Every structure is written in structure tokens, then in C-alpha cells.
Amino acid sequence: MTSILYDAPGPRAKRRNVLFSVVFFVLLALLLWWIWQTMDEKGQLEWALWKPFTTSEAWTTYLLPGLADTLKAAALSMVIALPLGAVLGIARMSDHRWVRIPAGAVVEFFRAIPVLLLMLFANEFYVRSTGIPSDERPLYAVVTGLVLYNASVLAEIVRAGILSLPKGQSEAAMAVGLRKSQTMSSILLPQAVTAMLPAIVSQLVVIVKDTALGGVMLGFTELLNTRSTLAANYANVIPSFIVVAVIFVVLNFILTSFASWLEGRLRRSKRSTGAVLGADKVDDVNAAEVGGTYGTGAGGSI
């Protein structure tokens, strides 16, 4: 294998690579052995702590309802944030300054603020100003915080998606006499949505991860929150963390794989213009990349 950093290895390099492999393998094995040993020392490997996960009770009482709440909050946030983000993103590209500037300010503001602050504020707002019952309030607060943040991230994705289309698309629309709104709604948006799909799916990973914040700080009964009830019940802190982490990794891995599958499919597709906003694109959807001023709240996918 050759790369920018090194050429295809010759005999000497091959010997050296084997040596590195062996040394690294030994180090890795030592590390794993040490972790295993420490776990054993603290009695974390005892079957009694892991056994609950083989029973249906742990799953039906704690983990699955928690996972359901995680998914519910994530899905709600995405469904609400998407149209909001589309409106903000399109408004930011408006020809009228009085539309463009406020939309830009809103997007940059909400991207600059940690999502936890938005959740805390929303929670307190609902406590004081609305009659939402206290058992539903955490869900409302979590979804509100996530919507405000992700709508502005999605706004940038929408903008980047539209800008990623070849210029000829809007020029041709203008040439056949479509109005600006017609160009946007029947030419640009339908293509941009397809181009954006991978980026949107990978933003879903961010949303899923952020729901855990509500579990700790607001008492929203998502997976991390039900984990603590479970651990209190079975006294298995470490195993429960490992199981929850595995659930999150599997869930997000499925979403990520789906996003890159979509991306590959769209890139190969012959019917489109070939414009695709990759799953990685979320990382660098900052205004600099898409032709504006450099914004505050980049790093949308972290």
C-alpha cells in the first residue's frame, strides 16, 4: 500500500513494519490484560452483575423504554428542526437584506451557544410560563433545545446543499422564465434535498448523542437516565455503562453506515447533477466553506 506519507515498502521496510506490529501488539495486549485484571480485582467480571442483561426484565423495564425515549426525542427534534432549518437556510440566501441579515444572526447565535444552555433555558421557561405537566416537561425542554440548535445547523446544510448545485440549474430556470420562488421550490430545493440526505442522516447521529444531556441534567428518561435506575437496582454500574455504550455505538453506527451508503448511491446515480453533500460535510459546514463570513458555531457534528 502506498500513500502520500510512504512508498510501497521494500524488504527492509517490511521487516521494520513487522517489528512495529509485534511491539504494538504486545503493548495492546498488556493494556487489555491490565484492564481485565483491574475489572477482575474490583469484582466487575462476576456473572451476577452481567446476568440481568440476559433476562428480559432489564430490557423491557429499563433499557428499551429508555432507548424508545431517546429515539422519540431525536425523531421529534429532527422532524421539527428540518422545515425550520430549511426556512432559515433559504432566508439566509434571500436577495433582501432585511431577510438575510436577521436569518444569519439567528443561525449564528444558536450555533454559538452550547445545546445544554438552550435545554436548561427551555426547561425553566416551560416551568414558569406554561402548564406543561412536570413529567412531560423534560421531553419538551430537550426537544426545544435540540430543535433550536439543529435548525441552525440544518440551515447551513440546506444552504450548502443549494450552493452545491451547478449554477446552470438556476440559470436555466431563469432562462425559461421561472420566478425566484418557483426556481427555489421546483428546481433547486428538490435537488438540494437529495444532495443533503447523507448530511442530514449524519446530523441525526449528533441529535441522538445530545439527547443523553437531557437525561443527566433535566431528568429526561432516556437511555442514560434509565441506566442509572437499572444500575441502582442491580448494583452493576460498569456493566450497565458498557451495555449502554454498545447500544449507542450500534445505533449510531447503523445511522452512519446508512448515511455513507446513501452518499455512495447518490454519487453513482446518473439522474442527478452529481452534487452530493457528503456525510463528512457536516464537520465543515461553516460559513467560510460556503462562501459567507466565517461563523461562530462551527463543528456541527461533534
Residues making contact with another protein (CB under 8 A)? 1-7, 9, 13, 17, 20-21, 24-25, 28, 38, 42, 44, 109, 112-117, 120-121, 124-125, 128, 205, 208-213, 215-217, 224, 231, 237-238, 241, 244-245, 248-249, 251-253, 256, 280, 283-284, 286, 288, 294-299, 302
Within 10 angstroms of residue 78's Cβ, the number of other Cβ atoms is: 21
Torsion, CA 79, CA 84, CA 90, CA 94, rounded to 10: 170
Nearer CB in complex with another protein: 149/184:
149
SS3 labels along 91-107? HHCCCCHHHHHHHHHHH
Q: How far is the CB of 90 from another protein (least distance, A)?
A: 23
**Helices vs. strands in the chain: H and E counts, helices first:** 12, 0
Distance CA 139, CA 86 (A): 23
Q: Measured in Å, how far apart are the chain's first and last C-alpha atoms?
A: 31
CB 104, min distance to another protein, A: 14
Nearer to another protein, 140 or 189 (CB): 140
Q: Closest separation between CB of residue 117 and another protein, Å?
A: 6
Q: Which of 141, 158, 73 is nearest to 107 (CA)?
A: 158
Q: Provide, rounded to whole angstroms, the least separation between the CB of residue 294 and another protein.
A: 3
Pick 69 or 210: Cβ nearer another protein: 210
**Residue placing its CB nearer to another protein in the complex, 219 or 274:** 219
For residues 212 and 132, the answer to whether their CB atoms sit within 8 Å is no
CB of residue 173 to another protein, shortest distance in Å? 31
Q: Which of 28, 90, 91, 66 is nearest to 229 (CA)?
A: 66
Q: Which is nearer to another protein, 77 or 211 (CB)?
A: 211
